[in-house]
């Protein structure tokens, strides 16, 4: 198993757990919720960088017949990205720790709070679909980690354009 | 250098999407029902142990609480993922087998 695959799995696992923790501001407290969310934004940027090749390949071949299967995944990922931005934006607009820390004052609009909650729920639904799309890869990776003696089974590709890094 | 360019590209796209959202929200909410507060409430604006608590602060300062929201998120994701996987599995199985020979 390649080192990059392990890095990806660890990053994705960490991001997923952070997302769960961040989704409970009453559990963490408001300050941790806001700063951890900001860190989560950074983790998502790294996630995108690690999967950059796939993004470029599918974007280039989006309207060709060969990208038929990956089109749904591509649109789903864009929707997830947009809803994530909506969470960040609405979160910053109602921020009580991060924005004041930088000495900024934003006009407060009560609709941002509602949007923050709505976009969080949408993101959770999209994240469920995102995990489901990559379920075979996740299971395959965990099998390889915990049973290294068993020859690695190739995960059934979710995408018609197979990920270059899916093989060891 | 390439990585910096990629990060910048991601940030530019994020700012564009965020700007669109911001424009849409401010355009739809301005001049409607007067819910916009021009000034963010400052900590000193509310008495610390007084009779009034800002509505969006009421539950956050009570210490660590049971992570019900975390469980809710996990349940949403699990249900959606399970339903999706079962649907794709079902329709994958329903596909007619391609004849291998005539």
Minimum-distance CB partner of B81 among A21, A81, A135: A135
Whole-structure pTM value: 0.77
Q: Give this complex's ipTM.
A: 0.80
Tell me the chain A residues in contact with residue B67 when contact means C-beta distances shorter than 8 Å: 24, 26-27
Tell me the chain A residues in contact with residue B3 when contact means C-beta distances shorter than 8 Å: 49
Say which residue the tokens 């407060």 belong to.
A108
Structure-block tokens of residue B99: 């004849």
Q: What is the pLDDT of residues B9-58, one digit of tens each?
A: 999 999 999 999 999 988 887 655 544 444 555 555 555 555 555 555 54
Q: How far is CA A96 from the centre of its chain?
A: 25
The domain limits of chain A are 3-161
- pLDDT, greater one: A74 or A153: A74
Determine the Cα–Cα distance for residues A90 and B95; give it in Å rounded to an integer: 43
DSSP letter assigned to residue B28: H
Q: What is the pLDDT of residues B64-87, one digit of tens each?
A: 677 888 999 999 999 999 999 999
Determine the Cα–Cα distance for residues B25 and A137; give it in Å rounded to an integer: 38
């Amino acid at each position: 198993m390649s080192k990059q695959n392990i890095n990806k799995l660890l990053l994705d696992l960490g991001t997923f757990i952070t997302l769960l923790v961040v989704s409970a501001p009453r559990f963490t407290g408001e300050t941790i919720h806001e700063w951890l969310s900001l860190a989560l934004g950074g983790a998502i940027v790294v996630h995108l960088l690690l999967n950059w090749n796939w993004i470029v390949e599918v974007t280039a071949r989006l309207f060709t017949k060969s990208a038929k299967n990956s089109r749904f995944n591509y649109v789903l990922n864009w929707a997830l990205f947009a809803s994530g931005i909506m969470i960040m934006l609405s979160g910053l607009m109602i921020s009580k720790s991060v924005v004041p820390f930088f000495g900024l004052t934003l006009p407060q609009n009560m609709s941002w709070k509602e949007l923050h909650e709505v976009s969080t729920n949408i993101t959770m639904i999209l994240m469920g679909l995102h995990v489901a799309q990559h379920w075979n890869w996740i299971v395959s990776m965990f099998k390889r980690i915990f049973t290294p003696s068993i020859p690695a089974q190739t995960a059934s590709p979710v995408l018609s354009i197979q990920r270059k890094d899916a093989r060891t | 250098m390439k990585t910096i360019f990629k990060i910048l590209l991601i940030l530019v796209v994020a700012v564009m999407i965020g700007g669109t959202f911001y424009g849409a929200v401010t355009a739809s909410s301005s001049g409607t029902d007067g819910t916009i507060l021009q000034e963010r409430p400052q900590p000193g604006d509310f008495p610390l142990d007084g009779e009034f608590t800002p509505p969006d602060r009421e539950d956050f300062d009570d210490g660590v609480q049971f992570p019900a929201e975390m469980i809710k998120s996990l349940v949403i994701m699990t249900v959606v993922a399970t339903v999706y996987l079962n649907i794709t599995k079902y329709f994958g199985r329903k596909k007619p087998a391609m004849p291998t020979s005539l």
